[in-house]
Amino acid sequence: REVDILRRLKPFCDSHFKCVQDVFQDDTFWYVITSYDDQLVNLQSVLTTSTNLSPSLWKTIIGELVQALRILHTHHIVHRDLKPENILVNCTQGLVRYIDYGISCHADECRSTLQSGTPLFMAPEIYLPTDNLDFTFEDYRAADLWALGITIVALLRNGQHVFHQWYTPYRNSLVAAKDSLLARSATTQHFEIYRRFLQQYRFGKGPSMDTITFDLESERQFRLLFPNHSLLCFLHSDPRQRTLPTF
């Protein structure tokens, strides 16, 4: 499936996606050879090591991330695991490349019961569904927007996850859970902490994102970059209300 997705993206690989040079397999594995650019670095490493990037660069990067996702969705592809670790950036020009399409899907192939993604970036309706597990392309498309919104907030907050600051009852536990998950040392307890927190949000028992009480500082920074838009484009509690903005 990943090879098929990469081949579908080949016409756009010079702009927002890695170019596939060759694909082959042996008795055990598939091997995908992609283009290499020594100016591209992992966004997660940028967030943890760089503190002096300019607002204009972040604005360019966010715009590129939105445009890349628009290309994916226009061609009926959903990523299903958007997060800083799966994004490469050029910190001089602000260019981006999405990577890792291991659980991505195309069109009708997306109908699934799979709760796909990384928990800290997974949309509440995917992580804690209220109905039967029967997701469609549109469900995963909305979940991609949520994951991109969480990623954008991480840019605005120097790598901090959107939830860990403002939800007081779970604040310390969420910080520990976030650090453990990003360090790939998460325990069952950490996942349970995050699950309980999302459950509060999903069923309206915690602060409402719809009133932008979730993170006023991130919203303020976002509006300084994009005055006519809100983070609720990505992070609305109703998946049907999420939409990619046009900058």
pLDDT in tens, 129-176: 666 678 999 999 999 999 999 899 888 887 766 654 444 444 555 555
Two tokens at 5?
């997705």
Contact 151, 64 (CB under 8 A): no
Q: How confident is the model at residue 51 (pLDDT cuts 50, 70, 90)?
A: low
Helices (H), 159-215: 171-182, 188-202
According to DSSP H, which parts of 18-131 are helical? 43-49, 55-74, 124-127
Query: Would you give the DSSP letter of residue 131?
Result: S
Question: Which range is most confident: 44-48, 79-83, 105-109?
Answer: 79-83
Tokens 């006023």 correspond to what residue?
216
pLDDT value at residue 115: 79
Q: What average pLDDT does this structure show over 20-36? A: 85
pLDDT band at 189 (very low <50, low <70, confident <90, very high): low
- The model's pLDDT over 193-217, given as tens digits with 9 standing for 90+, comes to 555 655 555 544 444 444 334 456 7
Return the half-sphere exposure (C-beta side, CA atoms, 13 A cut-off) of residue 204.
4
Q: How many CB atoms lie within 10 A of CB 176?
A: 16
Q: SS3 of 54, please?
A: coil
Q: Which two tokens stand for residue 52?
A: 């002096």
Please tell me which residue, 26 or 169, carries the higher pLDDT value: 26
